[in-house]
Chains A and B, each alone.
Chain A
Amino acid sequence: MTEPTPVAAPRRAALAPAAPGHLSADIVARARELIALYPEPRSALIPLCHLAQEQDGWLTPEAMVDIAGLVGVTPGEVLGTASFYDMLHTEPVGRYVVAVCTNIACLLGGAAELLEHAEHSLGVGSGGTTADGTVTLEEAECLADCDRAPCVQVNHRYVGAQTPESFDRLIGELRSGARDTEIPPHGTLIRVRRTGGLAADPAAVAEERRAAAQARAAREAAADGGGA
């Protein structure tokens, strides 16, 4: 029998920065309000990624370092989580992300033809960004607006069913800024504000969680006893 190798102390404490250096004071203040809504800070990781995209348009490495510090994980864990999700862009995207759904209902409504037109018209393939940095084209999965097929979203705002002609008009209006009121820049929370914090007694929540942990421990102890 050899002695087990001592486990090194977790490195995350050393990696976490003392204070966010990239995200703006306003974003950090909103981030702290969001974190306060959850029993565990890490739950705010994805909402914070949305806030970072609001500021930068995409999820920059610098923002991920700040988010890691705010929720108490490593920057690698932020990237490892964010890279799972379609809405979180770990590479730069255009000012407008134009998502064309080609899933079944939209396919039946001519979405493949619309996407082909969009690729020709914009001169980029799906996933590409126009040279002027205005538009990133995405082939999307179902966006839950199937009675208006083929369905298109711009920065996650529904713009209704599109034909090739109306699509070109839409792009023109985006470029001229004519749709700026209706379609804000990035960040699905950009117009979401909670006006108050939590009102229920936090001690009650803590008590419930303590009781649940106790019940779980009792159940596990019973299961261990039964298996022996």
Chain B
Amino acid sequence: MAITDPPKIVTSRLGYDDSHTLERYLATGGYEGLRAALARTPEEVAAEVDAASLLGRGGAGFPAGRKWSMLRKNPVTYLVVNGDESEPATFKDHLLVERDPHQLVEGVVIAAYALQVTRVFIFLRGEFALGLERVQAALNDAYAHGAVGRDIFGSGFSVDVVVHPGAGAYICGEETALLESLEGKRGFPRIKPPFFPAAIGLYGDPTVVNNVETMSNLPWIMTNGGAAFAALGGGRSTGTRLFALAGHVANPGVFELEMVKTTFDDLINAPVLGGGIPHGRGLKAFIPGGVSAPWFGPDQIDLPLGQDEVAEAGSMLGSGSVVVMDDHTCAVRAAWRITKFFSRESCGQCTPCREGSGWLERIMERIERGDGREQDLDLLMDACDNISPGVAWPPQQTTICVLGPSIPSSISSAITMFRDEFLVHIKEGGCPYD
């Protein structure tokens, strides 16, 4: 494995200080992809995205082209863009909305044209105050430029794009909770199947929900062709992808890498990427795809950054965030903090998640504090089993949405990989790392 040098598909402008302006965008090929799209039929545009095999970049990794084709039989009413990036240690969409908002707008209009929708909502995390300003400013400029609004570039196609602010709730990243929130309600995920947003979405109408990064890939695909995109990466994981690297690395940040061709080892240790673990410490564990994902140990560091490859190894590439823990990290404390997060963010609809997360958090907290009992390990796994029977991967589900079955990942990973560490906490009555 080696670090390849693929074209920068979504990060090509980030070297410029004014990457968010229309002037810079137009000077660097901006809105050419949209012009190319409008010169073709909506079906041809959708086919081009199909050819790219672009997997959704939000976390679930569903092919965007197929998501659209499920809808082509029936008219779609709304396109909703999911920019509610809240998965812990994921910060790629934050970068895209602040630094290249026109690329997002262009992608959105291309998708709207392919789907023939006239109303798009970009749901942005409320905490992205600057991102909200930048995307609205980009839209204002794009309307004035004729790239959004009525009769775009004289094509006869019209679409309105509305920026909608969230208000702070992790669960709104789940697409049906996002739609509820967009309807002005509490972010309660909807029961599905049978009806996904494609059938019953915003206001009960057919709706496509796509992630910010997914949309941001579309201008390049229209300019360079789906085949050029599909030639990058490997297997089902085509193209490049943004990886958000955080935790114990010398050089944390967002890196655009060719999928499959690069490994976790490259990402974490290559001098031009993560730069390795500082202070001469070793690797204890890493989380490969957001805190809902089971952890990996040093043995798995040579795995390629591919969706199927990571799934086969028992975890997920998820939201593209990688958290590195060095060998001075307390696994109990790390897993406790992740559990606390889920407990705070459970929407409260389903008993296993609402009660289970709080129960697990309290047990984890007392073990970390030094008041744990040896039976607590079995108790933890038993409570996890009630939320997600079998505590396996991919997880079984007893709840409306996948937040519940995400809770056991960190606990079962920590117990499986670092059982002795739990026992030391219990026997010594405290955290050995304090």
Contact = CB atoms under 8 A, between A and B. Distances in A.
Interface stretch (A11-19, A77-85, A116-124, A163-171): A77-85
Given A86-B169, A141-B344, A104 B338 contact: yes
Interface stretch (B28-36, B50-58, B176-184, B262-270): B176-184
Most buried by A among B158, B164, B167, B323: B167
Contacts of A199: 143, 148-150, 158, 160
B330 to A, nearest CB: 10
B226 to A, nearest CB: 27
A37 interface: yes
Interface string B197-228: 00110011110000000000000000000000
A144 B205 CA distance: 31
A90 to B, nearest CB: 12
A81 B185 contact: yes
Contacts of B91: 144-147
Interface residues of B, number: 79
Most buried by B among A46, A87, A158, A215: A46
A88 B165 CA distance: 12
B317 to A, nearest CB: 17
A195 B161 CA distance: 12
Interface stretch (B125-133, B300-308, B354-362, B391-399): B125-133
B48 interface: no
Contacts of B206: 212, 215
Given A37-B162, A156-B129, A213-B205, A141 B183 contact: no
A215 B73 CA distance: 11
B79 to A, nearest CB: 12
A103 B125 CA distance: 17
A208 interface: yes
Most buried by B among A45, A46, A104, A149: A104
Contacts of A84: 169, 186-187, 347
B424 to A, nearest CB: 20
A88 B200 contact: no
Interface stretch (A21-29, A172-180, A186-194): A186-194
Taking residues whose C-beta sits less than 8 angstroms from the other chain, chain A's interface range is: 35 or more
A198 interface: yes
Contact of B136 (A39, A50, A194, A211): A194
A50 B125 CA distance: 13
A145 B254 CA distance: 10
A162 B139 CA distance: 33
B174 interface: no
B67 interface: no
A100 interface: no
Contacts of B75: 208, 211-212, 215
Interface stretch (B12-20, B242-250, B376-384): B242-250
Contacts of B165: 46-47, 50, 188-189, 192
Given A142-B89, A212-B205, A108 B247 contact: yes
A104 B140 contact: no
A224 interface: no
Given A145-B91, A192-B133, A199-B158, A104 B127 contact: no
B140 A200 contact: no
B126 A188 contact: yes
A45 B199 CA distance: 25
B415 interface: no
A208 B118 contact: yes
Contact of A141 (B88, B94, B139): B88
B86 interface: yes
Interface in B254-279: 254
16 contacts: A40-B183, A47-B165, A81-B185, A88-B168, A103-B88, A142-B89, A147-B91, A188-B165, A192-B132, A192-B163, A199-B160, A201-B118, A201-B158, A205-B77, A209-B77, A211-B75
Interface of B: 74-75, 77, 85-91, 93-94, 117-119, 125-130, 132-133, 136, 139-140, 143-144, 148-150, 158-160, 162-170, 181-187, 199-200, 203-206, 244-248, 252-254, 287, 291, 321, 323-325, 329, 333-334, 337-338, 341, 344-345, 347
Top 3 A-B pairs ranked by shortest CB distance?
A86-B168, A45-B184, A199-B149
